[in-house]
Structure 1
Amino acid sequence: MSQLNDSDRSLDSINSDHIAPSAVMGLCCLIGVFGNVAVVSVIVCNHKRGDLNFTLKLMLNLAFSDILSLLTLPVWIYNLLHGWTLGLGACKFTSYVVISSLYVSVLTVTLMSVQRYVAVLYSQYWARLRGTGKRALLVALWVLAGVLASPAIALGDVVGQEMQCKWHYRSDTEEAATLFMEILLGFVVPFSILVTSYFCLHKKVNQTTFFSSQRMTRLVTSIVVTFFIFWSPVHITNILQISAVLLKSKTLKNFVKNCVDYTQALTFLNSCVNPFLYAFATRCRKENTEQSTTSQVVSTSNL
């Protein structure tokens, strides 16, 4: 996430080098905003405010954070192609907004997995968490995302011949430490929690029921795999950049710069996939409920 528009290529190569990632970002903006707005509309129209359970509130939270990050894409596309012309303050603010919203997205998906695990296996404890406690969880999620995104304010700058908005590190140590914390807090910890929660839930449910839901298995797998596919490339790039800094390798550093725009585009693709993924989750729950009701009716008729 700290790799936003990190490029030092010459003006002559901007059009050819940045057209592909810019096109992907533009497509993400169109599809992602429409998809997430549709999710918000469906949830709000089909449920009254008092009827929203915590899972639906998390889905709304995810949609809002994705919309917020996607709405900044036109600015970043222009920055890629023409450089930054909005001033230093706008650079810092826009960087902070997009990075904090991406962190909210990651943390929301992580909290979904924890909530599902606790609500299913420890329902008595989850029931004790009243509406105030659940609202506090959502507020804490945004606060934490804001704290994690705070380096954007300190490091965001307009630099280079292209006058692009990117992170400007004052030393190699600062760069390596910032990227390491981003990898740890933005990927390793959330992904570990995500995998552990769903693995323990799936294992426990299978032990306590006579059958396992193939739809649920596919859904859980898709959530984990999607998170890994869209977020691992940018953090692999971060690892390579840390290696380039520590080894002082210009070749590796140039390779990383050529990959940054494409790995960044994948993170925004994740914001496009989220609404369809969780809409499918809602459909699966509805189908499972209908199948369960049908089974009960058949069983009763047999009696």
Structure 2
Amino acid sequence: MTNGSFTMRLPTPAPSIVSTTDPNPEDDSLVSNDFSTTLGALILCLVILLGVPGNLFIVWSIMARIRRHSVTTFLILNLACADGFLMALTIFFVIYLAKQSWIFGTAMCKGLFYLCNTNMYASIFLITLMSVHRLVAVVFPTRVSLIASPRIAKRVVVGMWVLVFIISIPSLVFRNIRVDEDEMGKPRMVCEPNHTLPRHVRFQYAFETVSGFILPYAIIITSYVLILRRLRQTQFRRKVRSEKLILAIVVTFGLFWFPYHIINMIQVAAQWYPEDSPTREFLDHIWQSSRAVTSALAFISSCANPVLYTFAGKSYIRQNGFAFMARLFEGTSLEQVTKKGRNTNSESNVGLNNVVSIDNGGSGINGNVG
């Protein structure tokens, strides 16, 4: 989940630890907003309670209960690991909001928010890969083992993680600790973005929203449009649970992250107005008062997937107990591909049944990833 100065992004500082006398257009700290910080802390507590055990259960189900790891389960495993790791870090942000002061030092200030940022990119990129994989499975069902083989999937995911850690660097550079004062005049430490120039703000948040939301969602939407067009061209009319599950993941991620990126764009827009402009003051007030809550909401996306999987696999719970999620992913009764020699329509339908059905427990594609 999770950023280009993500979560509890608290308005800006100076090159190192500076005092509140330093003039800055982002001078009001978000931790000074009692309502926003309280609500944000409550949301994050809920996220910890649901997200940590939920994602650990997904990892355990895939690693310990599934013999053959499909491309789909491999992507889900990476997503669960990323989300579970983020959930483990959430306790630091709860303490930050509760104490309204950053007590963990400069290195943790930079490092934790950097890791949150990598989670945001990793989550949306993995979801995008899921959507592209479904596209390949539906449009090229007889070639999916070649185009989207487990070996290729491994290489793509490794490359994705390298890219994620590189493009998250701005959240490491543009963040530092600033000395602030609470309502009683006592000093407190604020871990927040360090934007010394307006163009830094415009670059970081615009880049974050375009690369971490707009472009991936454009690919996802295009993939599903092509999938629907392909399904209409064939005789394949079954309601596919795996398609619905992945679509639910896509929609859920978008709903929880959309407010965060709207606030990003509001902050970027504010930088185009003079500091004494009423419009600038109005826009600054909106993003400053909303940042903590929208960042906390974004965290929810990292604990929502276990809930979605539980609903998708509820029919297996009574029969399989704690192994229900493995049963959901594994594909123990995938339909068999028919022999060669069938016509194109028949072959396409068989391929679609084979690669996207989990109605009978299928996970999405044959082939080990391990």
Task: State TM-score, norm by structure 2.
Answer: 0.72
Find the partner of 2:296 among 251, 261, 265. Answer: 265
Contact in 2 for aligned 1:79/1:165 (Cα 8 Å): no
Asked if 1:289 is matched to 2:360, the reply is: yes
2:86 aligned residue (69, 90, 94)? 69
Q: Given the alignment, which residue of 45, 57, 66 partners 1:26?
A: 45
Contact 1:3 1:166 in 2 (8 A): no
Alignment of 1:62-211 (within 5 A): 62-82=79-99, 83-129=101-147, 130-161=149-180, 162-211=188-237
Question: Structure 1 121/286 Cα, relative in aligned 2: closer, same or farther at 3 Å?
Answer: closer
Displacement of 1:87: 1.6
| Distance in 1 (alpha carbons) for counterparts of 2:150 and 2:246 | 27
Q: Give 1:279 deviation, angstroms.
A: 4.8
More helix by share: 1
CA distance in 1, matches of 2:164, 2:65: 29
Residues 69 and 102 of structure 1 are in contact (CA less than 8 Å); yes or no, is this contact kept in structure 2? no
CA contact (8 A) 1:205 1:212 kept: no
Q: Deviations over 1:146-169 (max 9, x none)?
A: 112111221120124042212111
For residues 41 and 140 of structure 2, the distance between their equivalents in structure 1, rounded to whole angstroms, comes to: 46
Mean Cα deviation higher: 141-150 or 122-131:
122-131
Q: Secondary structure of the residue that 1:157 maps to in structure 2?
A: strand
Q: Deviations over 1:95-123 (max 9, x none)?
A: 11121122111111111000111122223
Which residue in the other structure is 1:213 paired with?
Answer: 239
Work out the CA distance in 2 between the residues paired with 1:215 and 1:133: 25
Q: Quick one: which of 62, 65, 76 aligns to 1:43?
A: 62
Number of residue-to-residue matches in the alignment: 289
Alpha carbons 2:266, 2:283 under 8 Å: kept: yes
After TM superposition, the score normalised by the length of structure 1 is 0.86
The residue identity in structure 1 corresponding to 2:90 is L
Q: 2:308 aligns with which of 273, 277, 281?
A: 277
Question: Counterparts of 2:62 and 2:31 in 1: how far apart (Å)?
Answer: 47
Identical aligned residues as a percent: 29
Per the alignment, residue 294 of structure 1 pairs with none
Which residues of 2 match residues 223-262 of structure 1 at below 5 A? 223-248=249-274, 249-262=280-293
Give distance in 1, aligned partners of 2:102 and 2:272: 29
Which of residues 69, 76, 82 is equivalent to 1:52? 69
Q: Letter of the aligned partner of 1:252 in structure 2?
A: L
Which of the pair has more CA radius of gyration? 2
Unaligned runs of 5+ in 1: 292-303
Pairwise CA RMSD of aligned residues? 2.5
Cα 1:128–1:243 shift into 2, 3 Å: same
Task: Encode CA deviations 1:56-82: one digit per residue, 9 max, x unaligned.
Answer: 111100100001111111111222232
Over 3 Å counting, the alpha-carbon distance change for 1:269 and 1:112 in structure 2 is same
Q: Is the 8 A contact 1:22 1:77 kept in 2?
A: yes
